[in-house]
């Protein structure tokens, strides 16, 4: 029988509903797990044990009476340390925000609490969710990067110190560390989950990310956090469907688009061979596999993403930079300084190209149920001075389409590999249905050997 | 920045602006970033955009 800290979110929530698991027992198990692992892994930055246990006791009393606040009743969730938490420090991994204590919860945090979730603590982020590496270690091999920027959230989920954690993605900061650590990552459509109360990198690129160990859990967390928010100017008004029900509709093998162009040339031979093997397995189980070509607008997608990100990052940080430039790490500082040099006409040119790119990607993805690529060009690099390569995730972030990554195997060096699925805007239920079908066919669930 | 500027001409313009804002030493430290940004600006400058295509922003 699985120990409480090993349970997925869906399993824990079900056992609490069945009264076979106590929220206090679950919270205590996770806190103990953190105590035992985090000196090595450094995935967590702030934990308030008393508050966690106090909330767990309150929710346990309600559960005993048969009351449920929602889908997460009694289940702890971790937060990347860029999500505002009322009364709890939100330092964004930075010296500039080192003493910042918000007086309200981010909308996504409020939704987790409203659904009965317990905020377990704040997970380490790279500085301002950009590319200066964090102190967190990859549980698969300490010599390899855990990825970033959602490094603590990904490692926390992979090492079984929490079942779900929130991350964010402006380039590749959710799906890349998810793949590097052997877990599931979901970036929903831009606008699906509110960004209100999340320290920004780039307003028009930032997405809230979900880090979990199963596709079921990704759907559950998406259900909890989705919805229009008047406080977020980028929030979408689309109604929130029943994602779990939509996901369950996928009973037949999907039509999957694969893209050899660009991805075969830029992946390592090992990753591309692995991806082709995954394609063969899925086709063998009945999936219809269709080769797709990338639109011409893909050629400038990476440059467009960097220009937009740097300019918006510069705009947010300009006042801090004027007086505290020396407090920034070298990469985030260089990025914002580049943003300060880029002319407004070039920024707008990039935003216009980005709109064209989105239209073209919608046309491409619309030919299939989902497009599949390797999540990353290579497994987590053996280099702690990098957070890895975002080039396979950032075009999806730039066009705002939803993506989900699932673990698909191990490299010859024993590091996790993943495949990424992209879908149509606001069709996350369908996308998760494809991912779930593939997760079942592949049957790959990874656990770092020293943290199993 | 003129429409037909080369990557090196764009980099030169960015470098001059960096020197003006932050001094010679900081501009020298930023050289790799200046080169990358110049390449990115050149990339987007190569595309002819339809006049009626508006920016995306919150898509």
Q: Which of A10, A168, A173, A297 is catalytic?
A: A173
Q: What pLDDT does A160 receive? A: 98
* Cross-chain residue pair B44–A348, CB shorter than 8 Å: no
* Cross-chain residue pair A337–B18, CB shorter than 8 Å: yes
A211 min Cα distance to partner chain B (Å): 24
Average pLDDT, chain A: 98
What residues of A are in contact with residue B47 (Cβ under 8 Å)?
A: 297, 300, 353
Cβ-nearest to B17 among A233, A306, A341: A341
Q: What is the mean pLDDT of residues A182-192?
A: 98
Residue A95 annotated to the active site: no
**Predicted confidence band at A311 (pLDDT cuts at 50, 70, 90)?**
very high
Residue A349 region by backbone torsions, left for phi larger than 0, else alpha for psi between -120 and 50, else beta:
alpha
pLDDT at A304 over 90: yes
**Predicted confidence band at B59 (pLDDT cuts at 50, 70, 90)?**
low
Q: What pLDDT does A120 receive? A: 98
A378–chain B Cβ distance below 8 A for any pair: no
Backbone dihedral angles phi then psi of residue A253, each to the nearest 5 degrees: -60, 140
Write the pLDDT tens digit of every residue in A6-34: 999 999 999 999 999 999 999 999 999 99
What residues of A are in contact with residue B21 (Cβ under 8 Å)?
A: 340-341
B38–chain A Cβ distance below 8 A for any pair: no
Residue A237 annotated to the active site: no
Q: What pLDDT does A232 receive? A: 98
Residue A390 CB-half CA count within 13 A: 24
Q: What is the mean pLDDT of residues B9-20?
A: 98
In the stretch 3-32 of chain B, residues with CB closer than 8 A to chain A read 14, 17-18, 21-22, 30
Backbone dihedral angles phi then psi of residue A35, each to the nearest 5 degrees: -55, -40
Q: What pLDDT does A286 receive? A: 98
Q: Nearest residue of B to residue A325 by CA position?
A: B22
**Predicted confidence band at B57 (pLDDT cuts at 50, 70, 90)?**
confident
Q: What pLDDT does B3 receive? A: 84
- A–B CB contacts, 8 A cutoff, strictly below: 89
Write the pLDDT tens digit of every residue in A370-422: 999 999 999 999 999 999 999 999 999 999 999 999 999 999 999 999 999 99
Question: Does the predicted interface ipTM exceed a cut of 0.95?
Answer: yes
A353–chain B Cβ distance below 8 A for any pair: yes
Q: What is the mean pLDDT of residues A294-311?
A: 98
B39–chain A Cβ distance below 8 A for any pair: yes
Residue A267 annotated to the active site: no
Write the pLDDT tens digit of every residue in A86-109: 999 999 999 999 999 999 999 999
What residues of A are in contact with residue B55 (Cβ under 8 Å)?
A: 348, 351-352, 354-355
**Predicted confidence band at A251 (pLDDT cuts at 50, 70, 90)?**
confident
Angle (CA) A205 A263 A171, round 5°: 15
Q: Are strands A403-410 and A288-291 parallel, antiparallel or unpaired?
A: unpaired
Q: What is the mean pLDDT of residues B25-29?
A: 98
A399–chain B Cβ distance below 8 A for any pair: yes
B2 min Cα distance to partner chain A (Å): 11
Q: Which of A10, A22, A29, A80 is catalytic?
A: A80
B11 min Cα distance to partner chain A (Å): 11
Residue whose C-alpha is closest to residue A173's, from A164, A185, A159: A185
Q: Do A86 and A104 contact (CB within 8 A), yes or no?
A: yes
Q: What is the mean pLDDT of residues A248-273?
A: 96
Q: What pLDDT does A116 receive? A: 98
Average pLDDT, chain B: 95
B54–chain A Cβ distance below 8 A for any pair: yes
pLDDT at A213 over 80: yes
Give the burial class of A53: count Cβ atoms within 10 A of its Cβ; 0-12 exposed, 13-18 middle, 19 or more buried: middle
Q: What pLDDT does B2 receive? A: 87
Residue whose C-alpha is closest to residue A351's, from A314, A385, A317, A400: A400
Q: What pLDDT does A111 receive? A: 98
Residue whose C-alpha is closest to residue A318's, from A343, A304, A337, A332: A337
Q: Which of A10, A94, A131, A149 is catalytic?
A: A149
């Amino acid at each position: 029988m699985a120990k409480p800290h090993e349970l997925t979110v869906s399993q824990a929530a079900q056992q609490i509903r069945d009264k076979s698991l106590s929220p206090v027992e679950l919270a205590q198990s996770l806190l103990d797990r953190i105590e035992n692992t985090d000196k090595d892994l450094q995935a967590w930055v702030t934990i308030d044990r008393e508050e966690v246990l106090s909330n767990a006791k309150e929710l346990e009393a309600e559960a005993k009476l048969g009351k449920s606040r929602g889908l997460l009743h009694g289940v702890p969730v971790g937060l990347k340390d860029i999500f505002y938490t009322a009364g709890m420090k939100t330092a964004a991994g930075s010296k500039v925000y080192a003493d910042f204590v918000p007086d309200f919860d981010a909308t996504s945090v409020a939704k987790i609490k409203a659904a009965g979730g317990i905020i377990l603590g704040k997970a380490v982020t790279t500085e301002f969710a950009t590319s200066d590496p964090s102190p967190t270690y990859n549980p698969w091999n300490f010599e390899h990067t855990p990825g970033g920027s959602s490094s603590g959230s990904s490692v926390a989920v992979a090492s079984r110190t929490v079942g779900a954690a929130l991350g964010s993605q402006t380039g590749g900061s959710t799906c890349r560390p998810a793949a590097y650590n052997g877990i599931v990552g979901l970036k929903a459509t831009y606008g699906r989950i509110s960004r209100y109360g999340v320290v920004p990198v780039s307003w028009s690129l930032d997405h809230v990310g979900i880090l979990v160990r199963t596709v079921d859990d990704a759907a559950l967390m998406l259900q909890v956090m989705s919805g229009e928010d008047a406080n977020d100017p980028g929030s979408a008004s689309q109604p929130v469907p029943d994602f779990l029900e939509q996901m369950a509709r996928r009973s037949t093998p999907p039509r999957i688009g694969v893209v050899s162009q660009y991805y075969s040339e830029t992946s390592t031979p090992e990753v591309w061979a692995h991806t082709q093997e995954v394609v063969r397995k899925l086709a063998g189980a009945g999936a219809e596999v269709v080769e797709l070509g990338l639109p011409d607008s893909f050629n400038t997608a990476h440059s467009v993403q960097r220009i937009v990100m740097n300019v918006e990052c510069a705009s947010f940080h300009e006042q801090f930079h004027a007086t505290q430039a020396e407090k920034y790490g070298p990469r985030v500082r260089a990025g914002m300084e580049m943003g300060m040099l880029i002319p407004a006409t070039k920024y707008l040119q990039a935003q216009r190209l980005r709109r064209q790119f989105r239209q073209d990607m919608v046309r491409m993805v619309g030919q299939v149920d989902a497009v599949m690529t390797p999540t990353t060009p290579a497994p987590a690099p053996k280099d702690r001075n990098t957070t890895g390569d975002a080039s396979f995730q950032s075009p999806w972030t730039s066009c705002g389409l939803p993506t989900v990554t699932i673990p698909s195997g191990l490299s010859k060096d024993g590091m996790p590999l993943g495949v990424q699925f992209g879908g149509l805007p606001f069709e996350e239920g369908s996308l998760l249905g494809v991912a779930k079908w593939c997760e079942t066919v592949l049957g790959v669930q990874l656990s770092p050997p020293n943290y199993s | 920045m003129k429409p037909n500027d080369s990557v090196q001409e764009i980099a030169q313009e960015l470098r001059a602006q960096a020197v003006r804002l932050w001094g010679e030493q900081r501009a020298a430290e930023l050289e790799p970033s200046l080169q990358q940004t110049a390449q990115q600006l050149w990339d987007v400058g190569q595309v002819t955009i339809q006049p009626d295509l508006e920016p995306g922003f919150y898509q």
